[in-house]
């Protein structure tokens, strides 16, 4: 595993306690409900994204590794060690137990202050996790800093469609329909942990704004949209030096 820096970079911890509590409360139901609320597209899009970076080699970094379901998929296509990073200790313990035979390394940290030397990872990926950061320019900039020259970025997440009609429908879906579906599938009432997801969705930039943000920090970026922009796959490659996150404002 790449050495952790002796002096941790100063950063404001930006994980919301309410969101973190909500995520930890649904660990046992995490995958089942996510399959349903994504209309069974979540793993399909994950596998498509990984095919776009298939054959990657070297040390990989998964941001927001959660209970370890995506880690297994990454390991099946990436040739090299994988470091799984999450802020939640409970999520890390769950992922470690689930994937105990796969030799992953585990680190507890936030995206905005990655505790690694620069230029060490050949692949940096996050699956449905970027939306849980408050400072997205810093998070994406940190990912670029720790990536090796030529390293790949793969982001898979809920999208905020650029079309105002589709964006409005997606907002209604996240705010009202997702909590109902989550409650029914997992046996919760309407006031359940999935009602917190709208808070993270609300602060997402639009798909076009996110594409622009990644492009300003990483250089050339490719974005693919699914279900009318409700899910996105973003691909980037580090050309050399990264722009400082301080030079880019949140869209």
Q: Is residue 251 part of a domain?
A: no
Output the six-digit token pair for 130: 């970027």
In terms of C-beta density within 10 A (0-12 exposed, 13-18 middle, 19 or more buried), how is residue 57 classed? exposed
What's the confidence (pLDDT) of residue 216?
Answer: 93
What's the confidence (pLDDT) of residue 72?
Answer: 96
128-169 pLDDT tens trace: 999 888 899 999 999 999 999 999 999 999 999 999 999 999
- Domain total for the chain? 1
Rounded Cα distance, 197 and 189, in Å: 15
Rounded Cα distance, 231 and 229, in Å: 5
CATH of the domain at 237: 3.40.50.150
Q: Is residue 170 part of a domain?
A: yes
DSSP of 48-103: HHHHHTTT-BS-EEEES-TTSHHHHHHHHH-BS-EEEEES-HHHHHHHHHHTTTTT
What's the whole-number mean pLDDT along residues 119-135? 93
What's the confidence (pLDDT) of residue 9?
Answer: 43
- Return the SS3 of 119: coil
Q: Out of 3-12, 166-175, 205-214, pick the least confident.
A: 3-12
Q: Is residue 67 part of a domain?
A: yes
Residue range of the domain that includes 228: 17-246
In terms of C-beta density within 10 A (0-12 exposed, 13-18 middle, 19 or more buried), how is residue 187 classed? exposed
13-49 pLDDT tens trace: 444 666 667 667 677 777 888 899 999 999 999 999 9
Rounded Cα distance, 33 and 35, in Å: 5
Q: Is residue 84 part of a domain?
A: yes
- On the question of pLDDT at 11 being above 50, the answer is no
Residue where the block lists tokens 């209970």: 67
* pTM (predicted TM-score): 0.87
CB atoms within 10 A of CB 119: 17
Rounded Cα distance, 60 and 147, in Å: 9
Q: 131 near 108, Cβ under 8 Å? A: no
Q: Is residue 10 part of a domain?
A: no
Q: Is residue 11 part of a domain?
A: no
């Amino acid at each position: 595993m790449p050495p952790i820096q002796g002096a941790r970079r100063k950063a404001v911890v930006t994980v919301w306690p309410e969101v973190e509590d909500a995520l930890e409360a649904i660990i046992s139901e995490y995958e089942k409900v996510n399959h349903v609320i994504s209309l069974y597209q979540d793993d399909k899009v994950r596998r498509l994204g990984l095919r776009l970076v298939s054959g990657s080699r070297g040390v990989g970094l998964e941001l927001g590794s959660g209970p370890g379901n995506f880690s297994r998929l990454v390991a099946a296509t990436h040739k090299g060690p994988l470091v799984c990073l999450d802020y939640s200790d409970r999520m890390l313990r769950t992922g470690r137990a689930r994937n105990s035979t796969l030799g992953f390394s585990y680190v507890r940290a936030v995206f905005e202050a990655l505790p690694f030397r620069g230029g060490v990872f050949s692949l940096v990926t996050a699956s449905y996790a970027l939306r849980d950061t408050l400072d997205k320019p810093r998070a994406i900039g940190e990912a670029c800093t720790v990536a090796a020259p030529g390293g790949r970025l793969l982001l898979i997440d809920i999208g905020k469609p650029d079309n105002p009609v589709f964006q409005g429908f997606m907002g209604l879906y996240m705010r009202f329909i997702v909590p109902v579906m989550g409650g029914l599938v997992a046996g919760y009432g309407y006031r359940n942990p999935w009602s917190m997801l709208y808070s993270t969705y609300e602060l997402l930039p639009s798909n076009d704004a996110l594409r622009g943000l990644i492009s300003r920090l990483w250089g050339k970026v490719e974005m693919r949209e699914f279900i009318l922009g409700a899910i996105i796959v973003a691909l980037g490659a580090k050309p050399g030096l990264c722009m400082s996150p301080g030079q880019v404002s949140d869209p």
